[in-house]
Structure 1
């Protein structure tokens, strides 16, 4: 095994898949609940509950199991690429189906329609993303090179995220006003548009022969459930999961509630695409500086610094009055600077955890670890959407009302800003004390090198 260095062109091509995947993720995080409540006129509490039930049933097991399956796959294309090649089209179609539900469904029918379409989408999304993200740890074993690969990938991730966040409502408006579609028909076409983009970007990487694993290890042979739960014996991974779960709830609350926050308490609905573009554009610009900071002070401390900055921006946002145009643009910019660490640090921290596991178990189990991480993030994201839906309902939110009651406006402010700040504050000390520092990782890689050399001599 060698510390392979990838060229810039290879890193760019590898990152392209994250453009499409991030675009559909952005569309879901920012507009899924909004689509259910303000387009399909479904109760926010019912929609949020349906999404959470899906995550706590099928999604609870599929990430770890698909990761286990990915690790054990043997094919002429390797362990990961077959899932990128053959699951991309079903991924696109299932995403389109989620945004093609009929208006006016009875509550029970609406519940199961949301539940089943979300579960179908998540099946193919998990197969693709678990395989794709697991490839990161196999392209190189170098600590800083992984950060570089993650940074290049996150550039496309942010571009895709901006693309999905900034043009979703614009596209829906164009399809509705320029092409004469109904509101529901316009959103269906938006779903198909983003689904096809995701499929194309994933296939570009899946069908490429450029990305070969530098890790040549036998697939995991323990039973699948044992393999999944054995990851919890890895103490740095448990710490990583706790941080990731809390961060997922906090960030999803922000993204889910942002359209409501801008539309109602701030009253700047027309500026929503611009505010999203500014927030995510600044985030993208600070990915490379964030990577340089991580190289100097470590990934955990950089992550903590970033979410500290984001917390200050959210606190200011909580107190902003209606029509505060200049302040909201400043707050969005500062939040973008802070949240850049959310894009860079976790994706370069997890490969280090995989090597810690290899040192102690003798196995390379990227798929299982990425699957477990994906499961925790998706369940906690669904929990955040459910909290958003329940919170809106308790606060007295009225679907398709231009003017919301004061209780709903306060509830939106709390869900968008105050609650995420509390959660982010919990993560900061955990990140400062994160166990795998640059020095700790160097010891792990040296120990692995010595172990492999010894095994080769036997």
Structure 2
């Protein structure tokens, strides 16, 4: 046995702790929203870099993440300090994450080609890596903050609620305040001057929420499991343990579902400004109103996810939500192409888009909440089988899944823009109507296939409420036996 139990009995989680725990995810939400929605648009449409170059740079950053995420997870699992395994890394992340985010929106004037590519790769990788230093250890707190099957869904709900509120709040505020329409820039979001205050505001929120959340959960350190010092292993032994950890069948099912779902989400987000301004002909103010649908969707998901989990189980609920998401994200585009949707300029267009998008967002956030909670259940099952707690490693994989939205998703969106012939620096040259129509025609089947294939992977996930409760009972019995043995020896 490699672990002992903390002698302090943890009291129930208070609302304040849940609130502050979730609050920290606003930093990740801001980074994620900026990468998914603004980054490709800014460097391609505003700066004038080729879409393929921008998406390739973002993809390189994702590849770097594929290595850095499990490394951070492994460090977090094996760290032993008086502040526990997670909090030192969380404190460490705040300043470098916010600074690298700020400079991402301040490329040197005249930089282009290889120089711009390298600048984007370095800054995007830095933002991702330093956010990872917070996100993975913070996520890994969840299984120890809450062990109950349904309570885990609740705290995951707070986490994703604030993650989306942070990102969408910055989005709405930016469109409404930082990017007002001007005679030179009637769309607002094409104005390069708005991106400096965007970087300042985003970085300020990131550092403040990370520190507040870390301080707000600091008092729970004394209730965390007290683990002995990790065994010294060479790199090959470490890689073998990581392979054994990640070979869990339930985890692989979640991984397949999550990567495809988040890639689809990334495509939708990366193309949102293109569709909003060019296909639906919405103004910056209307785009701000439409973006607020995510706040409604996140609020509904906070209520819906725990209820669906109790009634359908996490797996069943995630499957239903994935299918529903396909329907509501594709519906307005399919109906418009068939001539059955409201025309541009119609007073009913914005309300209809708002409602359909809010339902799609609700489904997406609810399924993300469930996946986060399902990983906590996998961690318990894996620890019973292997005798090792590997929260950091598993949530590193969850972090990688989420980053697929701003990595694989944005990369795919950039390729789609290149395929349909979107011109570089289109704010100056304009876009032919058939280009955006072809983009919509390509978007619909790509999104449908990603979500359907992802939902298929869920059939291999076998953990339900009964099996999880049996796993917890076995873990408690083994811990009690170990504690008795340590006491008598």
Equivalent residue for 1:285, pick from 293, 300, 308: 300
Residue in 1 aligned with 2:340? Answer: none
Question: In structure 2, what is the equivalent of residue 21 of structure 1?
Answer: 28
User: Cα deviation per residue 1:266-318 (whole Å; 9 max; x = unaligned)?
Assistant: 11133111111024423322321221111121111111111221111122122
Per the alignment, residue 31 of structure 1 pairs with 38
One of 380, 383, 390 as aligned partner of 1:358: 383
Measure how far apart 1:133 and its partner are. 0.8
In the alignment, does 2:227 pair up with 1:217?
A: yes
Q: 1:110 to 1:306 in 2, by over 3 A?
A: same
Tell me how far apart the structure 2 counterparts of residues 290 and 342 of structure 1 sit (CA, whole Å).
7
Whether the 8 Å CA contact 1:171–1:190 is kept in 2: the answer is no
1:249 aligned onto 2:259: no
Larger Rg, first or second structure (1 or 2): 2
2-structure distance, mates of 1:162, 1:306: 21
TM-aligned CA deviation for residue 421 of structure 1 = 1.7
Uncovered stretches (5+) of structure 2, i.e. residues with no partner: 184-189, 337-342
Q: Which TM-score applies when normalising by structure 1?
A: 0.92
Gaps of 5+ in 1: none
Following superposition, the deviation at residue 415 of structure 1 comes to 5.2
Does residue 439 (structure 1) correspond to residue 448 (structure 2)? The answer is no
Q: Give the alignment partner of residue 400 of structure 1, picking from 413, 426, 435.
A: 426
> Equivalences for 1:265-414 in 2 at 5 Å?
265-270=279-284, 271-321=286-336, 322-323=343-344, 324-379=349-404, 381-398=406-423, 399-401=425-427, 403-414=430-441
What SS does the corresponding residue of 2:135 show, helix, strand or coil? helix
Looking at structure 1, the residues matched to 229 and 252 of structure 2 have their Cα atoms a distance apart, in angstroms, of 22
Provide the C-alpha distance between the structure 2 equivalents of 1:219 and 1:247, rounded to a whole number of angstroms: 38
Partner of 2:482: 455
> Relative to structure 1, is the Cα distance of residues 228 and 175 closer, same or farther in structure 2, using a 3 angstrom cutoff?
farther
Alignment of 1:3-18 (within 5 A): 5-18=12-25
Does residue 125 (structure 1) correspond to residue 124 (structure 2)? The answer is no
Equivalenced residue count is: 455
Say which SS state the counterpart of residue 179 (structure 2) adopts: helix
Matched, 1:82 2:88: yes
Task: Give, in angstroms, the shift of residue 93 of structure 1.
Answer: 0.2
How far has the Cα of 1:156 moved from its partner? Answer: 1.8
Distance in 2 (CA, whole Å) between partners of 1:327 and 1:371 is 38
Contact 2:304 2:366 survives alignment (8 Å) = no
Name the residue aligned to 1:173: 179
241-250 or 214-223: bigger deviation: 214-223
Change (3 A) 1:365 1:134: same
Inter-CA distance 100–129: structure 2 relative to 1 (3 Å threshold): same
Please give the root-mean-square deviation of Cα atoms over the aligned residues, in Å: 2.5
For residue 210 of structure 1, give the secondary structure of its aligned residue in structure 2: helix
The alignment's TM-score, normalised by the length of structure 2, stands at: 0.87
Partner of 1:110: 116
